[in-house]
Amino acid sequence: MDFSLLGLWSQMGVVAKLVVITLLVMSVLAIAVSIERLITFRKGRRRSLEYIAALQPLIGTPGRLHEALRLPESWNDAPLARVLGVGLSEYRQGLERLGSAASDTIEIEVLGHGVARSMDRAKKRELAGLGRGLPLLATIASSAPFVGLFGTVFGIITAFEKMADPSKGGGGLATVSAGIAEALLTTAVGLAVAIVAVWFYNFFAAKLDEFGGIIDDSTGELADRLASQSARSAHAPAFPSHVSPLAGAVHA
């Protein structure tokens, strides 16, 4: 009896081989999704923090808000730029619509709520994009053990069939060892695939929550600064030089 991996493979039944192939495909999918998400998360975070660093001097200098509005065009690969860009654009269009009414405190407050809602919708879209592939990891993590157990059931059936067949030893331990080994192998492969998928899923779920916190901090501070500066003067620059919004996000 050959108990090496190749030996066990050659002795497996058709169902057990299909189970192992299915589990291998699931593992390849899990690894591929994990590598792609890892690259996406790292690049998104790095580019987002670079965008904040580029945005600060523009919104901190009077009269440069129009330059800040053009920044997202060159930062399309930064999720935070796409979110804050929506807020800045909404703010500018709102002021243009208000005109002389921009000095009205109530109108400014309504505009601030509108900017916050626009950025919140943009945030949901970005987080949904960043979370792409995580449902697949969760599905693989939850289903792989059961796929392995499916192969285990057929391995046990094979073992009992050999035990009941006099022509195959009539129940000797040597005659049923292949079926038991087949059953244990499919279970082990299923558990290995599930463990790896769970690790990756939990890792990316935590990263997604962390990125959501950075976006919340940045959008909340930006909305507050826009509203407070507009309330002071309808015709003053959006951000005076002494204001340094989003500083906390850079160190997040």
Mean pLDDT confidence for 17-36: 92
Residues 55/78, Cβ–Cβ less than 8 Å: no
Q: What is the pLDDT of residue 240?
A: 44
Report for 45-49, 232-236, 240-244: range of highest mean pLDDT:
45-49
Residues 229/91, Cβ–Cβ less than 8 Å: no
Q: What is the DSSP string of 6-34?
A: HHHHHH--HHHHHHHHHHHHHHHHHHHHH
Alpha-carbon distance of 196 to 87, in angstroms, equals: 39
Only one residue has tokens 């040597």, namely 174
Per-residue pLDDT band at 94 (split at 50, 70, 90): confident
Alpha-carbon distance of 155 to 183, in angstroms, equals: 4
% residues pLDDT > 90 (the chain): 26
Per DSSP, the three-state class of 77 is coil
**Could you tell me the residue ranges of all domains in the chain?**
5-250
Per-residue pLDDT band at 158 (split at 50, 70, 90): confident
Q: What is the pLDDT of residue 245?
A: 40
- Of the listed ranges 101-105, 121-125, 245-249, the least confidently predicted one is 245-249
Cβ partners under 8 Å of residue 170, min gap 6: 163
Q: What is the pLDDT of residue 36?
A: 94
Alpha-carbon distance of 177 to 78, in angstroms, equals: 57
Whether the predicted pLDDT of 1 surpasses 70: no
Per-residue 3-state assignment (H helix, E strand, C coil) for 88-121: HHHHHHHHHHHHHHHHCHHHHHHHHHHHHHHHHH
% residues pLDDT > 70 (the chain): 71
CB atoms within 10 A of CB 187: 19
Mean pLDDT confidence for 97-106: 69
Residues 41/207, Cβ–Cβ less than 8 Å: yes
34 vs 67, higher pLDDT: 34
pTM of the predicted protein model: 0.75
Tens of pLDDT, residue by residue over 192-241, are: 999 999 999 999 999 999 989 888 888 887 777 776 666 554 444 444 44
Whether the predicted pLDDT of 4 surpasses 70: no
Mean pLDDT confidence for 62-71: 70
Q: What is the pLDDT of residue 217?
A: 86
In this structure, the dihedral spanned by the alpha carbons of residues 10, 13, 16 and 18, taken in order and rounded to 10 degrees, is 90
Per-residue pLDDT band at 31 (split at 50, 70, 90): very high
Whether the predicted pLDDT of 252 surpasses 60: no
